[in-house]
Amino acid sequence: MKGRKFSFVILLSLLMVIVFAGTASAVTAPISNTLTGTFNVEEPKVAPTISVNGDLADGSATGMFDIFTVSTTAGSYSGELVRGEVECTAGEPDTDFTVQYQEQDPSNANFGQYLDLNFTENTAVFGPASGFPLTNITDSRFKVTWLEPGEYTFVLKILSVGDDTVLAEYEQTVTVVEGPALNLTWTINDAAVPNTAIPFETGEEFKTEVTADLNEGVASVDNTLFIIEVTKGEEAAAADDFEITKVGSSEDTEGINDTFEVVDGVLRGYWGPAAGFEFNGETTTAFTAMFNTTGNYTVNIYAVQVPPVVNAQ
């Protein structure tokens, strides 16, 4: 009896499968309208980008300029006609700061020069007014000059020409403190420099150490150059009155003596590259020097920012 009952269950199950299978295959004609969609599947679009290459200091001082570079990537929008904008969301252009861009078209008469960005309601357009094809750029150069202390926020944008859609943007804030940007201290023969005249004999070599550091709130200074000025009485010292004998622990003068010339009534020289360098933190320069003729001398040492070289790419 049990064997027959089990066989009956199996037979009933097979019949149900056959019935339902037959029912499903019999539904061949739709009884409703048909919904149809077509699909074009592509890779996701890659958005373009715009950014500063890390060379805009987030802290600076009044009277300083900062040269920075901007990069763009086209993503999936290569060749699309766009325009660039700089928006200042804090601070007043031409009152608190000025911004310039470097002309990079070799066919332009102003090639290499820094030209003013003209702001209207805190927004300025860079590049051709009619737009330009978006491409990958790594070193579009700008120059900002700080006139007043404060906190300034800039937004760089790429917008599509026609509908002004913002395709990419980048924001950076810079805090500007009252200048000067650098502080210098020095010693003569390992002692503090007094306010009175230091006695020396002709040909007597002495050691000078000059330490320079950024003042609080300043992150870096572009195009820094250190100047030495020498006067003798009320006039400029002659080239053979004063000389550097060596720099640091070497016997080399690093060409400092060759830089001296009489300018504006003083004998003036410098150390470092003539185009200046980016100053990022405390440095101490040691050198030895001597006076070759008798007289009352005044030596001034200070730092300047050298103007950027035109056509430097």
Contact criterion met (CB below 8 Å) for 89 and 174: no
Contact criterion met (CB below 8 Å) for 250 and 96: no
What local confidence, expressed as pLDDT, does residue 27 receive?
63
- Which 3-state string (H, E, C) describes 29-88? CCCCCCCCCCCCCCCCCCCCEEEECCCCCCEEECCCEEEEEEEEECHHHCCCEEEEEEEE
CATH code of the domain occupying 49-177 = 2.60.40.10
pLDDT under 70 in the chain at which residues? 1-27, 311-313
What local confidence, expressed as pLDDT, does residue 25 receive?
53
What local confidence, expressed as pLDDT, does residue 9 receive?
47
Please give the full DSSP string across 105-168, using - where no structure is assigned.
Answer: -TTSTTTT-EEEPPPBTTEEEES-TT-EE---EEEEEEEEEE-S-EEEEEEEEEEETTT--EEE
Same fold? 49-177, 182-305: yes
Beta carbons within 10 angstroms of residue 295's beta carbon? 14
What local confidence, expressed as pLDDT, does residue 249 receive?
81
What local confidence, expressed as pLDDT, does residue 7 receive?
53
pLDDT, tens only, 168-177: 999 999 999 9
CATH topology for 182-305 is Immunoglobulin-like (2.60.40)
The residue extents of the domains of the chain are: 49-177, 182-305
